[in-house]
Amino acid sequence: MFLWIVGVLSLYVSLPFVKFLRSDAVSWHDRYVPRGNFTEWVHAQNSIALERLLDNFIDENGAILASPSRNEPDYYYQWVRDSAIVVNTLVKQLPAIEQNLQYDQLVHRRILQFLNNSFVLQRLDNLSGKGVPTSIRGLGEPKFNVDNTQFNENWGRPQNDGPPLRIITILNYLQHLNNTGKQIDHIITHNAKEGFLPFKVTKDIFDNILFWDLQFIVDEWKSENFDLWEEVRGHHFFTSVMQLYAIERTLPIAKQNHLLRKKFVESLVDTRHKIREFILDNRTGFISKSANHIISCPEIYGKRSGLDIATILASIYTHDGSNTSEHLDLFHVDNRYILNTLYGLTESMSDLYPINKENERHSKKHNLAAVALGRYPEDVYDGVGISEGNPWYLATAAAAEHMYKLARKFIEDEKSIPISPSDEFWKFIIETDSKDKFDVKYHSHAFNETIKSFVALGDSFLDKIRLHVADDGSMSEQINKYTGYNQGASDLTWSYGSYLNAYQAREEILAYLSH
Protein backbone atom coordinates (compact mmCIF):
# COMPACT_ATOMS: atom_id res chain seq x y z
CA MET A 1 0.00 0.00 0.00
CA PHE A 2 1.18 3.51 -0.69
CA LEU A 3 -0.37 6.90 -0.12
CA TRP A 4 0.40 10.20 -1.79
CA ILE A 5 1.21 12.93 0.69
CA VAL A 6 0.32 15.84 -1.58
CA GLY A 7 -2.71 16.61 0.56
CA VAL A 8 -0.54 17.22 3.62
CA LEU A 9 1.80 19.53 1.74
CA SER A 10 -0.95 21.45 -0.02
CA LEU A 11 -2.70 21.94 3.29
CA TYR A 12 0.43 23.43 4.79
CA VAL A 13 1.08 26.02 2.11
CA SER A 14 -2.53 27.15 2.19
CA LEU A 15 -2.63 27.68 5.96
CA PRO A 16 -3.42 31.23 7.11
CA PHE A 17 -0.30 33.32 7.64
CA VAL A 18 1.13 33.04 11.12
CA LYS A 19 3.42 35.88 12.18
CA PHE A 20 6.87 34.60 13.06
CA LEU A 21 9.74 36.71 14.32
CA ARG A 22 11.64 38.19 11.39
CA SER A 23 13.65 41.22 10.31
CA ASP A 24 12.45 44.57 11.57
CA ALA A 25 14.50 46.49 9.01
CA VAL A 26 13.12 49.83 7.85
CA SER A 27 11.15 49.41 4.64
CA TRP A 28 12.95 50.28 1.44
CA HIS A 29 11.09 52.73 -0.78
CA ASP A 30 8.33 52.66 1.86
CA ARG A 31 7.11 49.39 0.45
CA TYR A 32 5.33 46.68 2.34
CA VAL A 33 4.98 43.21 0.91
CA PRO A 34 1.75 41.60 2.16
CA ARG A 35 2.17 37.95 3.07
CA GLY A 36 -1.29 36.86 4.12
CA ASN A 37 -1.85 35.08 0.82
CA PHE A 38 0.91 32.79 -0.44
CA THR A 39 0.14 33.21 -4.15
CA GLU A 40 -0.04 36.99 -3.98
CA TRP A 41 3.17 37.14 -1.98
CA VAL A 42 5.07 34.95 -4.46
CA HIS A 43 4.44 37.45 -7.27
CA ALA A 44 5.07 40.55 -5.17
CA GLN A 45 8.33 39.12 -3.83
CA ASN A 46 9.53 38.41 -7.36
CA SER A 47 9.29 42.08 -8.29
CA ILE A 48 11.11 43.11 -5.13
CA ALA A 49 13.86 40.54 -5.72
CA LEU A 50 14.55 41.83 -9.23
CA GLU A 51 14.70 45.43 -8.00
CA ARG A 52 17.06 44.60 -5.17
CA LEU A 53 19.32 42.49 -7.35
CA LEU A 54 19.69 45.27 -9.92
CA ASP A 55 20.34 47.82 -7.17
CA ASN A 56 23.50 45.91 -6.22
CA PHE A 57 25.28 46.78 -9.47
CA ILE A 58 27.88 49.55 -9.41
CA ASP A 59 26.86 51.75 -12.31
CA GLU A 60 30.32 53.16 -13.01
CA ASN A 61 32.03 49.87 -13.89
CA GLY A 62 29.44 47.10 -13.71
CA ALA A 63 30.86 45.49 -10.58
CA ILE A 64 28.23 43.48 -8.71
CA LEU A 65 28.15 43.80 -4.94
CA ALA A 66 27.80 40.56 -3.07
CA SER A 67 25.98 42.71 -0.52
CA PRO A 68 25.95 46.41 0.40
CA SER A 69 26.96 45.39 3.93
CA ARG A 70 30.29 47.00 4.92
CA ASN A 71 30.57 45.90 8.53
CA GLU A 72 29.84 42.69 10.44
CA PRO A 73 30.10 41.30 7.86
CA ASP A 74 31.96 43.25 5.19
CA TYR A 75 30.65 41.86 1.90
CA TYR A 76 31.26 45.06 -0.03
CA TYR A 77 33.24 43.22 -2.71
CA GLN A 78 32.63 41.54 -6.02
CA TRP A 79 33.00 37.76 -6.14
CA VAL A 80 33.59 36.15 -9.53
CA ARG A 81 31.29 33.25 -8.63
CA ASP A 82 28.42 35.32 -7.24
CA SER A 83 28.56 37.75 -10.14
CA ALA A 84 28.38 35.01 -12.76
CA ILE A 85 25.50 33.28 -10.98
CA VAL A 86 23.34 36.40 -10.59
CA VAL A 87 23.99 37.60 -14.15
CA ASN A 88 22.96 34.15 -15.36
CA THR A 89 19.73 34.71 -13.44
CA LEU A 90 19.22 37.95 -15.36
CA VAL A 91 19.88 36.15 -18.65
CA LYS A 92 17.18 33.63 -17.81
CA GLN A 93 14.80 36.50 -17.03
CA LEU A 94 15.35 38.17 -20.40
CA PRO A 95 12.34 36.69 -22.25
CA ALA A 96 10.06 38.32 -19.67
CA ILE A 97 12.19 41.41 -19.09
CA GLU A 98 12.31 42.29 -22.78
CA GLN A 99 8.55 42.80 -22.65
CA ASN A 100 9.05 45.48 -19.98
CA LEU A 101 10.55 48.73 -21.23
CA GLN A 102 11.37 49.70 -17.65
CA TYR A 103 13.98 46.96 -17.41
CA ASP A 104 14.91 45.89 -20.95
CA GLN A 105 17.65 48.41 -21.72
CA LEU A 106 18.93 48.44 -18.13
CA VAL A 107 19.37 44.66 -17.95
CA HIS A 108 21.13 44.40 -21.31
CA ARG A 109 23.42 47.23 -20.21
CA ARG A 110 24.19 45.42 -16.95
CA ILE A 111 25.07 42.25 -18.85
CA LEU A 112 27.37 44.18 -21.19
CA GLN A 113 29.01 45.74 -18.14
CA PHE A 114 29.50 42.26 -16.71
CA LEU A 115 31.25 41.19 -19.92
CA ASN A 116 33.47 44.24 -19.85
CA ASN A 117 34.21 43.80 -16.16
CA SER A 118 35.13 40.16 -16.75
CA PHE A 119 37.64 41.26 -19.39
CA VAL A 120 39.20 43.74 -16.95
CA LEU A 121 39.42 41.36 -13.98
CA GLN A 122 40.95 38.58 -16.07
CA ARG A 123 43.92 40.85 -16.77
CA LEU A 124 44.45 42.02 -13.21
CA ASP A 125 47.42 40.62 -11.27
CA ASN A 126 46.34 39.28 -7.88
CA LEU A 127 47.44 37.01 -5.06
CA SER A 128 46.33 33.89 -6.97
CA GLY A 129 48.63 34.74 -9.87
CA LYS A 130 49.38 37.05 -12.76
CA GLY A 131 46.58 38.14 -15.04
CA VAL A 132 46.21 36.98 -18.62
CA PRO A 133 47.94 36.75 -21.01
CA THR A 134 50.99 36.40 -18.74
CA SER A 135 49.39 33.59 -16.72
CA ILE A 136 46.01 31.96 -16.23
CA ARG A 137 46.55 31.31 -12.50
CA GLY A 138 45.06 34.68 -11.60
CA LEU A 139 41.68 33.47 -12.87
CA GLY A 140 41.36 31.43 -9.68
CA GLU A 141 41.13 34.62 -7.62
CA PRO A 142 37.71 34.59 -5.94
CA LYS A 143 37.05 38.25 -5.11
CA PHE A 144 38.06 41.79 -6.00
CA ASN A 145 37.41 45.26 -4.66
CA VAL A 146 34.45 47.00 -6.25
CA ASP A 147 36.73 49.56 -7.94
CA ASN A 148 38.35 46.67 -9.89
CA THR A 149 41.53 46.59 -7.84
CA GLN A 150 42.98 43.42 -6.36
CA PHE A 151 41.98 42.18 -2.91
CA ASN A 152 45.23 41.73 -1.00
CA GLU A 153 44.19 40.12 2.26
CA ASN A 154 44.38 36.48 3.31
CA TRP A 155 41.58 34.39 1.82
CA GLY A 156 40.67 30.89 0.69
CA ARG A 157 42.31 30.91 -2.73
CA PRO A 158 42.26 29.74 -5.41
CA GLN A 159 38.60 29.03 -6.09
CA ASN A 160 38.19 27.35 -9.45
CA ASP A 161 34.43 27.58 -9.95
CA GLY A 162 34.44 31.21 -11.11
CA PRO A 163 35.75 30.67 -14.67
CA PRO A 164 33.30 27.87 -15.59
CA LEU A 165 30.36 29.77 -14.12
CA ARG A 166 31.36 32.82 -16.13
CA ILE A 167 31.57 30.70 -19.30
CA ILE A 168 28.11 29.28 -18.72
CA THR A 169 26.59 32.71 -18.14
CA ILE A 170 28.18 34.27 -21.23
CA LEU A 171 27.22 31.36 -23.46
CA ASN A 172 23.64 31.49 -22.19
CA TYR A 173 23.51 35.17 -23.08
CA LEU A 174 24.90 34.62 -26.56
CA GLN A 175 22.46 31.75 -27.05
CA HIS A 176 19.57 33.99 -26.02
CA LEU A 177 20.63 36.61 -28.56
CA ASN A 178 20.87 33.93 -31.24
CA ASN A 179 17.47 32.49 -30.36
CA THR A 180 15.84 35.92 -30.61
CA GLY A 181 17.60 36.89 -33.85
CA LYS A 182 19.81 39.56 -32.26
CA GLN A 183 23.49 40.31 -32.69
CA ILE A 184 25.85 41.47 -29.98
CA ASP A 185 26.86 44.54 -32.02
CA HIS A 186 23.21 45.61 -32.16
CA ILE A 187 22.88 45.19 -28.40
CA ILE A 188 26.04 47.25 -27.85
CA THR A 189 24.81 50.04 -30.10
CA HIS A 190 21.45 50.34 -28.38
CA ASN A 191 22.34 49.61 -24.76
CA ALA A 192 25.98 50.32 -23.94
CA LYS A 193 27.03 53.62 -22.47
CA GLU A 194 29.62 55.59 -24.34
CA GLY A 195 33.11 54.22 -23.94
CA PHE A 196 35.39 51.48 -25.19
CA LEU A 197 34.28 47.86 -25.04
CA PRO A 198 36.88 45.17 -25.83
CA PHE A 199 34.42 43.25 -28.01
CA LYS A 200 32.15 44.03 -30.91
CA VAL A 201 31.15 40.62 -32.21
CA THR A 202 30.79 37.11 -30.77
CA LYS A 203 34.24 36.08 -31.98
CA ASP A 204 35.77 38.86 -29.87
CA ILE A 205 34.07 37.50 -26.76
CA PHE A 206 35.43 34.03 -27.44
CA ASP A 207 38.94 35.30 -28.15
CA ASN A 208 39.20 37.83 -25.33
CA ILE A 209 37.17 36.32 -22.49
CA LEU A 210 35.95 32.75 -22.99
CA PHE A 211 39.22 31.37 -24.34
CA TRP A 212 41.09 32.26 -21.15
CA ASP A 213 38.48 30.77 -18.83
CA LEU A 214 38.43 27.60 -20.93
CA GLN A 215 42.21 27.41 -20.84
CA PHE A 216 42.04 27.72 -17.07
CA ILE A 217 39.77 24.68 -16.90
CA VAL A 218 42.06 22.70 -19.21
CA ASP A 219 45.08 23.49 -17.04
CA GLU A 220 43.59 23.48 -13.55
CA TRP A 221 40.60 21.13 -13.48
CA LYS A 222 42.31 18.56 -11.27
CA SER A 223 44.03 21.00 -8.93
CA GLU A 224 42.91 21.26 -5.33
CA ASN A 225 41.08 24.50 -4.61
CA PHE A 226 38.64 26.02 -2.16
CA ASP A 227 34.93 25.28 -2.31
CA LEU A 228 32.19 27.76 -3.11
CA TRP A 229 31.79 28.42 0.63
CA GLU A 230 35.50 29.38 0.75
CA GLU A 231 36.27 27.07 3.65
CA VAL A 232 37.70 23.74 2.50
CA ARG A 233 40.61 23.01 0.18
CA GLY A 234 40.17 19.85 -1.85
CA HIS A 235 38.14 18.56 -4.78
CA HIS A 236 34.52 19.61 -4.92
CA PHE A 237 31.52 18.11 -6.67
CA PHE A 238 30.09 21.55 -7.43
CA THR A 239 33.29 22.84 -9.03
CA SER A 240 33.95 19.71 -11.09
CA VAL A 241 30.39 19.59 -12.42
CA MET A 242 30.53 23.28 -13.35
CA GLN A 243 33.83 22.73 -15.17
CA LEU A 244 32.40 19.80 -17.12
CA TYR A 245 29.24 21.68 -18.01
CA ALA A 246 31.15 24.76 -19.17
CA ILE A 247 33.03 22.63 -21.70
CA GLU A 248 29.88 20.74 -22.71
CA ARG A 249 28.14 24.04 -23.45
CA THR A 250 31.12 25.43 -25.33
CA LEU A 251 31.88 22.61 -27.74
CA PRO A 252 28.77 22.57 -29.98
CA ILE A 253 28.71 26.37 -30.27
CA ALA A 254 32.44 26.64 -30.96
CA LYS A 255 32.44 23.81 -33.49
CA GLN A 256 29.39 25.00 -35.37
CA ASN A 257 30.61 28.58 -35.67
CA HIS A 258 34.38 27.93 -35.89
CA LEU A 259 34.99 30.20 -32.90
CA LEU A 260 38.02 28.38 -31.47
CA ARG A 261 41.13 26.90 -33.01
CA LYS A 262 40.85 23.23 -33.96
CA LYS A 263 43.75 22.17 -31.75
CA PHE A 264 42.25 23.92 -28.74
CA VAL A 265 38.87 22.32 -29.39
CA GLU A 266 40.61 18.94 -29.34
CA SER A 267 42.10 19.78 -25.95
CA LEU A 268 38.61 20.68 -24.70
CA VAL A 269 37.25 17.34 -25.90
CA ASP A 270 40.06 15.54 -24.09
CA THR A 271 39.52 17.56 -20.91
CA ARG A 272 35.80 16.91 -21.00
CA HIS A 273 36.49 13.18 -21.09
CA LYS A 274 38.93 13.39 -18.19
CA ILE A 275 36.65 15.47 -15.96
CA ARG A 276 33.72 13.18 -16.66
CA GLU A 277 35.75 10.11 -15.73
CA PHE A 278 37.05 11.88 -12.62
CA ILE A 279 33.55 12.72 -11.39
CA LEU A 280 32.24 9.19 -11.92
CA ASP A 281 35.31 7.34 -10.65
CA ASN A 282 34.58 5.69 -7.30
CA ARG A 283 38.14 6.45 -6.25
CA THR A 284 37.40 10.18 -6.45
CA GLY A 285 34.76 9.75 -3.79
CA PHE A 286 31.84 11.91 -4.90
CA ILE A 287 29.86 8.68 -5.06
CA SER A 288 30.51 6.31 -2.16
CA LYS A 289 29.17 2.88 -1.29
CA SER A 290 28.75 4.09 2.28
CA ALA A 291 26.29 6.85 1.38
CA ASN A 292 23.20 7.13 -0.79
CA HIS A 293 23.86 10.80 -1.49
CA ILE A 294 26.60 12.83 -3.17
CA ILE A 295 29.74 13.46 -1.10
CA SER A 296 30.38 17.13 -1.72
CA CYS A 297 34.10 17.07 -0.77
CA PRO A 298 35.61 13.58 -0.37
CA GLU A 299 38.70 14.87 1.46
CA ILE A 300 36.63 15.66 4.56
CA TYR A 301 34.11 12.85 4.34
CA GLY A 302 33.93 11.27 7.76
CA LYS A 303 34.55 14.56 9.50
CA ARG A 304 31.42 15.78 7.74
CA SER A 305 28.44 13.93 6.29
CA GLY A 306 29.10 15.07 2.72
CA LEU A 307 25.62 16.60 2.52
CA ASP A 308 25.76 20.10 1.04
CA ILE A 309 23.27 22.37 -0.73
CA ALA A 310 26.08 22.96 -3.24
CA THR A 311 25.17 19.56 -4.69
CA ILE A 312 21.62 20.73 -5.37
CA LEU A 313 22.98 23.95 -6.87
CA ALA A 314 25.20 21.92 -9.20
CA SER A 315 22.20 19.98 -10.46
CA ILE A 316 19.81 22.91 -10.98
CA TYR A 317 22.50 25.12 -12.54
CA THR A 318 23.34 22.49 -15.15
CA HIS A 319 19.74 21.65 -16.03
CA ASP A 320 18.23 24.94 -16.97
CA GLY A 321 15.78 26.09 -19.60
CA SER A 322 13.51 24.23 -21.99
CA ASN A 323 16.21 23.15 -24.46
CA THR A 324 17.14 19.75 -23.07
CA SER A 325 20.05 19.46 -25.51
CA GLU A 326 21.76 22.11 -23.38
CA HIS A 327 21.41 20.07 -20.20
CA LEU A 328 24.28 18.11 -18.73
CA ASP A 329 23.57 14.40 -19.13
CA LEU A 330 24.81 13.67 -15.60
CA PHE A 331 23.17 14.25 -12.22
CA HIS A 332 19.87 15.56 -13.48
CA VAL A 333 17.30 16.72 -10.96
CA ASP A 334 15.80 13.21 -10.84
CA ASN A 335 19.12 11.48 -10.13
CA ARG A 336 18.77 9.31 -7.01
CA TYR A 337 21.93 10.71 -5.41
CA ILE A 338 20.72 14.27 -5.98
CA LEU A 339 17.26 13.51 -4.60
CA ASN A 340 18.65 11.73 -1.56
CA THR A 341 20.97 14.68 -0.93
CA LEU A 342 17.95 16.96 -0.68
CA TYR A 343 16.24 14.51 1.64
CA GLY A 344 19.31 14.25 3.88
CA LEU A 345 19.64 18.02 4.12
CA THR A 346 15.98 18.48 4.89
CA GLU A 347 15.82 15.72 7.46
CA SER A 348 18.89 16.93 9.36
CA MET A 349 17.95 20.61 9.26
CA SER A 350 14.39 20.04 10.38
CA ASP A 351 15.98 19.17 13.74
CA LEU A 352 18.97 21.54 13.63
CA TYR A 353 16.99 24.75 13.23
CA PRO A 354 14.32 25.52 15.87
CA ILE A 355 12.34 27.70 13.43
CA ASN A 356 11.51 24.46 11.63
CA LYS A 357 9.91 22.92 14.70
CA GLU A 358 6.39 24.12 13.94
CA ASN A 359 6.32 21.24 11.47
CA GLU A 360 5.81 18.95 14.45
CA ARG A 361 2.11 19.71 14.31
CA HIS A 362 2.14 17.22 11.45
CA SER A 363 2.76 13.57 12.14
CA LYS A 364 6.42 12.72 12.76
CA LYS A 365 6.53 10.88 9.46
CA HIS A 366 5.57 13.98 7.52
CA ASN A 367 7.29 16.79 9.42
CA LEU A 368 9.80 17.41 6.63
CA ALA A 369 7.56 19.79 4.73
CA ALA A 370 8.33 23.51 4.90
CA VAL A 371 11.89 23.43 6.16
CA ALA A 372 14.33 26.33 5.97
CA LEU A 373 17.63 24.93 4.70
CA GLY A 374 21.22 25.95 5.33
CA ARG A 375 24.46 25.10 3.54
CA TYR A 376 25.41 21.83 5.26
CA PRO A 377 24.54 20.25 8.61
CA GLU A 378 27.91 20.86 10.25
CA ASP A 379 27.98 24.58 9.40
CA VAL A 380 29.19 26.92 12.18
CA TYR A 381 29.30 30.24 10.29
CA ASP A 382 26.62 32.52 11.72
CA GLY A 383 26.90 35.31 9.15
CA VAL A 384 29.46 37.30 11.12
CA GLY A 385 31.69 34.83 12.92
CA ILE A 386 31.91 31.27 14.16
CA SER A 387 29.21 29.95 16.47
CA GLU A 388 26.25 28.11 14.95
CA GLY A 389 25.09 27.78 11.37
CA ASN A 390 21.72 29.07 10.20
CA PRO A 391 19.31 28.58 7.32
CA TRP A 392 20.15 30.50 4.14
CA TYR A 393 17.64 32.05 1.78
CA LEU A 394 19.54 30.87 -1.29
CA ALA A 395 19.59 27.29 -0.03
CA THR A 396 15.87 27.23 0.72
CA ALA A 397 14.99 28.77 -2.65
CA ALA A 398 17.28 26.26 -4.40
CA ALA A 399 15.31 23.39 -2.87
CA ALA A 400 12.10 24.89 -4.22
CA GLU A 401 13.61 25.30 -7.67
CA HIS A 402 14.77 21.69 -7.57
CA MET A 403 11.25 20.42 -6.93
CA TYR A 404 9.69 22.53 -9.67
CA LYS A 405 12.28 21.32 -12.16
CA LEU A 406 11.75 17.73 -11.04
CA ALA A 407 8.03 18.01 -11.81
CA ARG A 408 8.76 19.54 -15.19
CA LYS A 409 11.29 16.89 -16.13
CA PHE A 410 8.91 14.01 -15.53
CA ILE A 411 6.21 15.74 -17.57
CA GLU A 412 8.57 16.48 -20.46
CA ASP A 413 10.00 12.96 -20.43
CA GLU A 414 6.51 11.50 -20.94
CA LYS A 415 7.60 8.35 -19.16
CA SER A 416 6.63 6.49 -16.03
CA ILE A 417 8.20 7.64 -12.77
CA PRO A 418 10.42 4.90 -11.32
CA ILE A 419 10.14 4.78 -7.54
CA SER A 420 12.45 2.87 -5.25
CA PRO A 421 11.26 2.95 -1.62
CA SER A 422 14.86 2.32 -0.55
CA ASP A 423 15.70 5.84 -1.75
CA GLU A 424 14.83 8.07 1.16
CA PHE A 425 13.65 10.97 -0.97
CA TRP A 426 10.41 9.18 -1.75
CA LYS A 427 9.40 9.46 1.90
CA PHE A 428 8.49 13.04 0.95
CA ILE A 429 5.97 11.78 -1.57
CA ILE A 430 4.52 8.41 -0.60
CA GLU A 431 3.81 6.10 2.28
CA THR A 432 4.35 2.45 1.49
CA ASP A 433 5.03 -0.79 3.31
CA SER A 434 6.56 -2.30 0.22
CA LYS A 435 10.31 -2.38 -0.37
CA ASP A 436 9.93 -3.31 -4.02
CA LYS A 437 10.53 -0.86 -6.83
CA PHE A 438 7.54 0.17 -8.90
CA ASP A 439 6.64 2.57 -11.70
CA VAL A 440 4.01 5.28 -11.66
CA LYS A 441 2.59 5.16 -15.16
CA TYR A 442 2.74 8.31 -17.24
CA HIS A 443 -0.49 10.31 -17.32
CA SER A 444 -2.17 8.08 -14.75
CA HIS A 445 -4.00 9.58 -11.77
CA ALA A 446 -1.09 8.53 -9.57
CA PHE A 447 1.34 10.25 -11.94
CA ASN A 448 -0.61 13.49 -11.82
CA GLU A 449 -0.79 13.35 -8.03
CA THR A 450 2.95 12.76 -7.82
CA ILE A 451 3.62 15.82 -9.98
CA LYS A 452 1.37 17.86 -7.71
CA SER A 453 3.33 16.56 -4.74
CA PHE A 454 6.60 17.84 -6.20
CA VAL A 455 5.07 21.28 -6.79
CA ALA A 456 3.53 21.38 -3.32
CA LEU A 457 6.86 20.44 -1.79
CA GLY A 458 8.53 23.25 -3.76
CA ASP A 459 5.87 25.65 -2.51
CA SER A 460 6.52 24.56 1.05
CA PHE A 461 10.13 25.73 0.76
CA LEU A 462 9.06 29.09 -0.67
CA ASP A 463 6.46 29.34 2.05
CA LYS A 464 9.23 29.11 4.61
CA ILE A 465 10.86 32.13 2.96
CA ARG A 466 7.52 33.94 3.10
CA LEU A 467 7.36 33.45 6.85
CA HIS A 468 10.76 34.98 7.51
CA VAL A 469 11.51 37.51 4.80
CA ALA A 470 11.45 41.14 5.98
CA ASP A 471 8.27 43.18 5.70
CA ASP A 472 9.76 45.18 2.84
CA GLY A 473 10.78 42.01 0.98
CA SER A 474 14.48 42.31 1.75
CA MET A 475 16.56 39.15 2.13
CA SER A 476 19.82 38.88 3.98
CA GLU A 477 22.23 35.98 3.66
CA GLN A 478 20.83 33.98 6.56
CA ILE A 479 17.82 33.51 8.81
CA ASN A 480 18.55 33.25 12.52
CA LYS A 481 17.63 29.70 13.39
CA TYR A 482 16.11 30.67 16.76
CA THR A 483 14.30 33.95 16.08
CA GLY A 484 13.62 33.87 12.35
CA TYR A 485 15.12 37.32 11.91
CA ASN A 486 17.32 38.18 8.95
CA GLN A 487 20.97 37.69 9.87
CA GLY A 488 24.35 38.26 8.27
CA ALA A 489 24.98 40.25 5.11
CA SER A 490 21.99 42.41 4.23
CA ASP A 491 20.38 42.34 0.78
CA LEU A 492 22.57 39.47 -0.43
CA THR A 493 22.48 39.54 -4.22
CA TRP A 494 22.67 35.76 -4.48
CA SER A 495 19.60 35.44 -2.21
CA TYR A 496 17.54 37.52 -4.61
CA GLY A 497 18.88 35.64 -7.61
CA SER A 498 17.98 32.30 -6.08
CA TYR A 499 14.46 33.47 -5.37
CA LEU A 500 14.07 34.71 -8.96
CA ASN A 501 15.24 31.33 -10.26
CA ALA A 502 12.75 29.47 -8.08
CA TYR A 503 9.93 31.78 -9.08
CA GLN A 504 10.66 31.29 -12.77
CA ALA A 505 10.79 27.51 -12.40
CA ARG A 506 7.47 27.66 -10.55
CA GLU A 507 5.81 29.75 -13.24
CA GLU A 508 7.02 27.32 -15.90
CA ILE A 509 5.66 24.20 -14.20
CA LEU A 510 2.35 25.89 -13.38
CA ALA A 511 2.02 26.80 -17.06
CA TYR A 512 2.54 23.13 -17.92
CA LEU A 513 -0.07 22.01 -15.42
CA SER A 514 -2.64 24.51 -16.66
CA HIS A 515 -2.67 22.97 -20.15
Model confidence pLDDT, tens digit, residues 456-494:
999 999 999 999 999 999 999 999 999 999 999 999 999
The pLDDT of residue 26 is 40
Asked if residue 346 belongs to a domain, the reply is yes
Contact 491, 52 (CB under 8 A): yes
The pLDDT of residue 30 is 58
**pLDDT over threshold 90, residue 193:** no
Asked if residue 428 belongs to a domain, the reply is yes
Distance CA 206, CA 201 (A): 9
**pLDDT over threshold 90, residue 445:** yes
Same domain, yes or no: 111 and 250 = yes
Contact 214, 167 (CB under 8 A): yes
Asked if residue 509 belongs to a domain, the reply is yes
Distance CA 87, CA 171 (A): 12
What range does the domain containing 348 cover?
Answer: 333-514
CATH code for position 194: 1.50.10.10
Active-site annotation, residues: 227, 230
Asked if residue 475 belongs to a domain, the reply is yes
What confidence tens digit (pLDDT) does each residue in 102-119 have?
A: 788 899 999 999 999 999
Among 425, 502, 505, 426, smallest CA distance to 465 is for 502
Name the domain count of the chain.
2
> Which one is predicted more confidently, 158 or 17?
158
The pLDDT of residue 403 is 97
**pLDDT over threshold 60, residue 253:** yes
pLDDT > 90: percent of the chain: 78
pTM of this prediction? 0.92
The pLDDT of residue 7 is 41
Asked if residue 462 belongs to a domain, the reply is yes
Reported as a pLDDT band with limits 50, 70 and 90, residue 410 is: very high
The pLDDT of residue 209 is 97
Tally of CA atoms within 13 A in the half-sphere of 392 that contains its CB: 29
The pLDDT of residue 443 is 92
Bridge partners, residue 322, by sequence: none
Helix segments in 221-377, DSSP class H: 237-257, 262-280, 309-317, 336-352
Distance CA 101, CA 108 (A): 11
Residues 6+ apart with CB under 8 A from 179: none
Same domain, yes or no: 228 and 374 = no
